[in-house]
Every structure is written in structure tokens, then in C-alpha cells.
Amino acid sequence: MTARERQLSDELNRIRSTYSFNLGLLLTEALFRKPWKIPLLPLSFVLFNIRYIKQGRVKKLHIEENSIELDENVLMLISTTEEGTASLERCAILATEWLNEPERKVVIVSPHEDYPGFLPKKAVMYPIKDPKLLHKQKRSEWNALCENLISNILESHRPQHAIFDGPYPYRGVLNSIKSFPSATWVWFRPEGIDNSTLLTQSEHFTKTERFSISDRPGVAMHESRRLPVKKEWKRILLDARTYGSHTMKHDVKMHNIYNELGNDITVVHPYDANAMGGEITSVLSEQSLEHLMGAVVPANLEIVAAMMAANLPTLCIHTDDTNPATLADLRKGSARCPVMFCHERDTVQILHCLTTLVRDNNAMRECSNSVKKRNWVSQIIPSLHKD
């Protein structure tokens, strides 16, 4: 029996056990099916009420005995693929932070096929097929599969906290929330939710969370710290403009700009096995960035924050589709940090910025305000954070 069938069965049993339903059965039997019981109706009504009160007490005890007791040390994360690997990388950071306490456990649901290179080894992983690879006619079947998988996880691992990281919640996730309302459900959107249609979906969740790189409300991404300036790095430039996107674009203009920087500059892309140490590397990991000269990134809150935490000179390229509030947050939050901004169509300014990044790399690092990454999960689920 699927979770949806179980939910419908429970609803049917609930209706059949209501006072009005059973009173209707009593009256139907006395007035229509067996009229000879009409003289006994007052007595039958009294006995019916006594029996209903006793059954209600027994049912309440049965529900309390069989209710699922959730474990506050267990966290479930649901990753999506609409933004490429960005959701998986965020979930990997949340999982790592959560597992800092030895008694805690993380369960992750993800459609990403390359998850082993990102997630901590102690995380329990449940793979699921990517819904984007299915025809629209198959989406209802996938949602039923998703709902059943999440419900089985909730019944088996009993997580008190569940975080969904995706641009819009799947129907299978929403149905699971209805089936297990006692859990704490968080919808995590880095840039927040400004779509009226999506705002109505957020009502299903316990709360929504967003990132903040400045003083806006949200999950703070960094804090000040004193950091010695690293003076040794390789002449490698990371091009991570596709971070947060599901598609890879070949940009001839950027290729020509990189060629003008000189033959001694190597441009690599995320997860390039040959240039990034021979293994899948998270672009949000400070350890993965420490040997780089600089980076070219999109107007994305968490990746810019990661570059700031690594004190890595960075060019942030924004587009016409960039959220103005996000861009304003990035500009304000990266003040006094080695971050420059250009529009994707302004190729002349992009070349100037990259030339400055290469020529004055050490000066950009020394003149910046050092920051370090803050713990995300302790802000999303603050009640369990231990200082």
C-alpha cells in the first residue's frame, strides 16, 4: 500500500468513525430498514451514545500507542536537479554541519547520479530517478513513487526535521507533508520566494528560509575573522558561471577573453578531473579553492560567499535575468572584499576586470576584509544548536 492509499484509507476510517456518520446509520436502520425498532429508538439512542463514548476513549489510546515518535537528532534532506548540482552541494554542506554532533544522523533523497563525490560518508542516501528525464505523462507516477519513498523514510528513520532544497515543491513532497504534519518541514530557497503562486505552496511548510550575504533577514553566510593573506597559489582561474544552472553553454566570447590574459593562465571548470585534483570537487569548499588565482562566477549568493570566505579575487557576472534584490545583496555584502561585478554583455569591462584580477591579485587579497563561513544548519534549526 502506497502512502497515498494509506492516507485515503485513514481518511475513510476517520469518516466512518464520526458521530454523525454512525448516528445516520442508527436512524436509517430504525426508520427505513427495520421500522419495528422505532419504539425502541430512544433506548437505542442512549445506548449508542454510551457505546460511542467508550469507543472514543479506546480509539484515543490506540492512536497514542501507534503514533510515530520522531527523532530530533535525525535530519532528512531532499535535493533537486533544476539548478544543476547547486542543490546537491548545499545539501552536502548542511549534512556535514549536522553530522558535527556524533549522535546525529542524516538521510538524503536525491536524483543526482554523481552524489558520492559530494556527500559525507556517514549520510544515508536514497536515490530517485530525475523527474526531468520523464515524459509529462509519467510525472504522476513519479510523484507517487516520491511520496512513497519519503513516507517510508519517515516511518523508518523518523526524522523530526526535513529540508527541501528546490525551486518548487513536488506534489509527492507536498502529499508527504500532509501525511506527516508533526515533522518540521523547511523549504530552503537561497534567493527567497517572490512568486505569488509559489508563495501559496509555501503555506504547506513549517517555514521557509533564504540566504543573506548582507544585513537582510535570512541565513547569514559569513562573519568577520582575521586571516593571514595567502601568497602562494597556482595561475589557475575557475570559470564557474554554470553553477546553479542545469545546462552548459559554450561561450566563444569568454574563451577569446581568456586567451587575451596570457598563455600562462589556465582556465578550469567545476569538477574538471584533470585540473581540480583528479576528483569531483565542491566549488563551495574553501579547501578546493585555496590553490586558485581567482574565479568567474554567476550572481549566486552561496558561491560568491564561498569565494569571499576563501579570500579569492572574483569576478561576478550578472545577466538580465538576475534578481535585482539578489544583486543588491551581493554588492552590499561583498563591500571591502575582492569581488568585482560586470554584466555579461559588457565584454570590454569583463576583460578589464580580469586583467586587474591577474595583475593585482596579491593587492586585492591584502586590501580585503577577511570573512569566514557561518554554520547554516544551526540557523535553520536553531533549537538544537550546541555552542
- 40-45-47 Cα angle (round to 5): 95
Among 66, 92, 125, where does a domain finish?
A: 66
Residue 343: per-residue pLDDT: 96
339 domain-assigned: yes
256 domain-assigned: yes
Digit-coded pLDDT (tens) for 117-159? 778 889 999 999 988 887 776 888 888 889 889 989 988 899 9
Q: Which residue has the higher pLDDT, 113 or 327?
A: 327
Mean pLDDT of 288-317: 92
Among the listed residues 167, 131, 168, 122, the one whose alpha carbon sits nearest the alpha carbon of residue 149: 131
* Tally of structural domains, the chain: 3
Same domain? For 117 and 151 the reply is yes
Q: Which residue has the higher pLDDT, 60 or 358?
A: 358
Same domain? For 251 and 333 the reply is yes
Q: Which residue has the higher pLDDT, 98 or 372?
A: 98
Q: Are 312 and 284 in contact (CB under 8 A)?
A: no
- Average pLDDT over all residues of the chain: 84
pTM over 0.85: no
Mean pLDDT of 318-340: 93
Residue 228: per-residue pLDDT: 64
Residue 353: per-residue pLDDT: 96
Q: Which residue has the higher pLDDT, 319 or 230?
A: 319
192 domain-assigned: yes
Same domain? For 239 and 334 the reply is yes
DSSP per residue, 39-96: GGHHHHHHHHHHHHHHHHHHHHHHHHHHS---EEEEEEEEE-STTTTHHHHHHHHHHH
Give the confidence band of 281 by pLDDT, cuts at 50, 70, 90.
low
Same domain? For 43 and 75 the reply is no
Same domain? For 188 and 281 the reply is no
Mean pLDDT of 291-308: 93
| Beta strand 371-373 pairing with 222-224 | antiparallel
Q: Which helix (H) or strand (E) holds 238?
A: strand 236-239
Same domain? For 136 and 248 the reply is no
Structural domain including 32 reads: 16-66
Give the confidence band of 49 by pLDDT, cuts at 50, 70, 90.
confident
Q: Count the helix, strand and coil residues of the chain and give each as a percent rounded to the nearest 5.
A: 45, 15, 35
Among 33, 49, 66, where does a domain finish?
A: 66
- CATH code assigned at 194: 3.40.50.2000
Digit-coded pLDDT (tens) for 249-276? 667 789 899 999 988 999 988 866 555 5
In this structure, of 36-45, 82-91, 145-154, the range with the lowest mean pLDDT score is 36-45
Give the integer Cα–Cα distance in Å for 47 and 274.
81
Digit-coded pLDDT (tens) for 188-199? 998 888 777 778
**Is the model's pLDDT at 323 over the cut of 50?**
yes
* Grid-cell match 533537486, residue found: 80
Strand partners, 266: 236
Residue 4: per-residue pLDDT: 58
Q: Which residue has the higher pLDDT, 85 or 187?
A: 187
**Is the model's pLDDT at 209 over the cut of 80?**
yes
**Is the model's pLDDT at 63 over the cut of 60?**
no
Same domain? For 80 and 32 the reply is no
Same domain? For 179 and 76 the reply is yes
Same domain? For 196 and 299 the reply is no
**Is the model's pLDDT at 65 over the cut of 50?**
no
324 domain-assigned: yes
Q: Are 286 and 310 in contact (CB under 8 A)?
A: yes
What does DSSP assign to residue 214?
A: S
Which residue type is seen at 281?
A: T
Residue 247: per-residue pLDDT: 66
Give the integer Cα–Cα distance in Å for 218 and 200.
20
Residue 164, SS3 per DSSP: strand
9 domain-assigned: no
Same domain? For 294 and 332 the reply is yes
